[in-house]
Structure 1
């Protein structure tokens, strides 16, 4: 994949769809300082992403906030998403159909200044955020620095907090995550606030119910008491892979074998692997033992049903439709399926723990075996679990917190944390390599990773 050349002049700020007032045009900055913002209540945010998943999170988050004038860009790096990945990531947001500018590390200070940012959103992997926040700290009047993760964030990582050491605030998506990241920040000695927000892709206003259940119907029968034949076989069974887990090829093949058996047993139904990247494209996390290749292996072996498994690409929304069901091991896709009332199964065969990134689902009531996947017996989480995990009421608190941070930034009341930079020197070397590598080096790196 060739690397697009960054624009010589940053694109104009894009107002979010939720903003009730017209955006205030950004005037060119005369220096690296951030000029005072207007008094109309609008927050100016510059968001920097490096991959498809972070871009999706950033554009959905910013589109959900009122009175925000946001400039979203990608930074040139080895995991830069393709045009197709970008299009899928911004679908349904204020940036749909718009060109996302690509900047280099050298462009960061100018981009922040030109858009007079009150807040810089580090919507990227740790090394990129470390470099971005260091650049922002060197401005005469620095903006507030905010970061977060593009999906479920448990278990909380001390390493991730170290990369974000210079931040003022971290966005978490459940009460459990707030507690975990507050503890992680204290252990890592990263002085920041932890804000609670709803994952922006979740649209329900109350506790989600199965899509075919009327609002006044009794609660879902607990999965443990349901017989294998009590659930309706889905017309479309969608598997949402996670790049990091399960790790072994054997475990991944066992999932594909269950999907193949489902397809073989249920000729009126379709099994789909919903992939986030095509061969040669990149995701936030590198994936070994790709399902694309493993599926070919099963087909070559003549495994019954393997030839009926389809590959799907595009926004997940297009797959979460009535009559479908979702299967995953650990993925934010499960939360999106819950949100839409889609039957969902978290595979229990490999267990639930920190290494599998799925321990939050252990008592959800939506767990099941690969044998149940093959049978098409897919359940739904309990209302109690949903209320306690990620489906809290969105009360506008994040916007209020960001407004206060913006006010403090304009008044030059944010703490100076440059003394903490020395703790990041080793981490920043990696960030420098990822953001400053010349284009030929990046292209060579990509060729090595793709084998082309």
Structure 2
């Protein structure tokens, strides 16, 4: 056993939304094992999670603070040079954020071999911007793939542009688990009705017409089956943002509708909702993978087509594609075991085995003789001079990863007035997205 595996590991997670915080923190726990001190950093921005969202996620840290990219780089500079450096750093960010932090760290750790192992990956199904997102994540020591299928695709992209693909490591979604489904509760003599859950998504579909259609079909299903409990599982409350923007929350559409008594809108951790689910219905939510892992009957809707824009094309070959008409008639999709195995959702147990290779790689890197080499993202001023500077500038970094002139010092704590302005600006942005933008879009269609 590596010597580094015998001590309590210090781990940092930088996340930019509630779902990425959940992925990053749970990934850190899978990789670091039982001996763990977890420090969380929430990147300040439009999707910074609220205290309610963090509570719902249910993953606690030993310390948690909100930071800008510049502030975070300063923390990484001082902690790495101190007596208690981090062993592991998980970047749970959008691709541009990962790339900016990697270049910033390359600047603050120019030749420092005593540095954390840097890990990144994806929070769920990867169905769009494959090349773009992957190349923006290149440069981390580990780029986690959630399945064998993803690992093969990731390596093909890196090798196809001449980038080092050795960082790609097969693992799984860290939140897969829970009690396996054992058949309808009512059929087993339970005291709750057969429960159908529709897992809503913030940005899929993205038009009022399509979202109203899905809500109407859910209502129709509830009325056709008054003996069933039908739940609309929401991702966030009005005014909150998650990983993706939600201009038209279902709860706003539902206010103008007479809902049947057996249809309810619910929040809460998806794992807890799945504990009482007999049929999971969605367009393309990652919740489908959680349900399939637990052997819960799962339907991927085809009503709006099978299209890349919806993400449900990812599930072709799964055996789970179905329409509301079929579900209304009692159809239960049967997943193809070969497909689920390739997607990393067929394993039994907690999923620890799926992270064995990643843990071994982390151990090996921490015990590298002479320390770790400098970070080496494939994007540079030599490979992408017209693209990289814009990515870095959004985080107040120059093309070489250094701070742009005029950037406020990272150690200057914002005063009460500045904190108030930030909260007001964030609220105004969310109001604009969810109330003003839909009106402007409708006016543009007149």
TM-score, scaled relative to structure 2: 0.76
Residues 51 and 323 of structure 1, relative CA distance in 2, 3 Å threshold: closer
Partner of 1:313: 267
Equivalent in 57, 65, 73 of residue 23 of structure 2: 57
SS at match of 1:64: helix
* Long gaps (5+) in structure 1: 1-19, 22-36, 214-232
- Alignment deviations for residues 332-386 of structure 1 (CA, whole Å, 9 cap, x no partner): 1011111222221110222334322222312212221111333454334132322
Cα deviation for residue 150 of structure 1 reads 0.7
Cα deviation for residue 175 of structure 1 reads 1.1
Q: Does structure 2 retain, via aligned residues, the 8 Å contact 1:74–1:101?
A: yes
SS at match of 2:13: strand
Separation of aligned partners in 1, 2:343 and 2:379: 37
Separation of aligned partners in 1, 2:216 and 2:300: 16
Cα deviation for residue 135 of structure 1 reads 2.4
Residues 176 and 418 of structure 1, relative CA distance in 2, 3 Å threshold: closer
SS at match of 1:327: strand
CA RMSD of aligned residues (A): 3.3
* Long gaps (5+) in structure 2: 185-191, 348-352, 398-402, 409-417, 436-446
Cα deviation for residue 262 of structure 1 reads 1.6
Separation of aligned partners in 1, 2:328 and 2:228: 12
Q: Does structure 2 retain, via aligned residues, the 8 Å contact 1:321–1:342?
A: no
Equivalent in 177, 187, 198 of residue 203 of structure 1: 177
Equivalent in 1, 7, 13 of residue 47 of structure 1: 13
Q: Does structure 1 retain, via aligned residues, the 8 Å contact 2:43–2:67?
A: yes
TM-score, scaled relative to structure 1: 0.76
Partner of 1:128: 97
Partner of 1:139: 108
Cα deviation for residue 151 of structure 1 reads 1.0
Separation of aligned partners in 2, 1:130 and 1:311: 38
Partner of 1:15: none
- Aligned residue pairs total 386
SS at match of 2:20: helix
Q: Map 1:8-407 onto structure 2 (within 5 A).
A: 40=6, 43-65=9-31, 66=33, 67-89=35-57, 91=58, 93=59, 95=60, 100-112=64-76, 113-114=78-79, 116-140=85-109, 141=112, 142-155=115-128, 157-187=130-160, 190-192=163-165, 193-203=167-177, 210-212=181-183, 235-297=194-256, 299=257, 302=258, 305=259, 308-322=262-276, 324-391=278-345, 394-395=353-354, 396-407=356-367
- Deviates further, 235-244 or 422-431: 422-431
Residues 409 and 446 of structure 1, relative CA distance in 2, 3 Å threshold: farther
Residues 375 and 292 of structure 1, relative CA distance in 2, 3 Å threshold: farther
- Alignment deviations for residues 92-112 of structure 1 (CA, whole Å, 9 cap, x no partner): x4x27x663222333313432
- Deviates further, 169-178 or 305-314: 305-314
Cα deviation for residue 281 of structure 1 reads 0.4
Separation of aligned partners in 2, 1:380 and 1:274: 22
- Alignment deviations for residues 299-335 of structure 1 (CA, whole Å, 9 cap, x no partner): 1xx5xx5565321111012211245321100011011
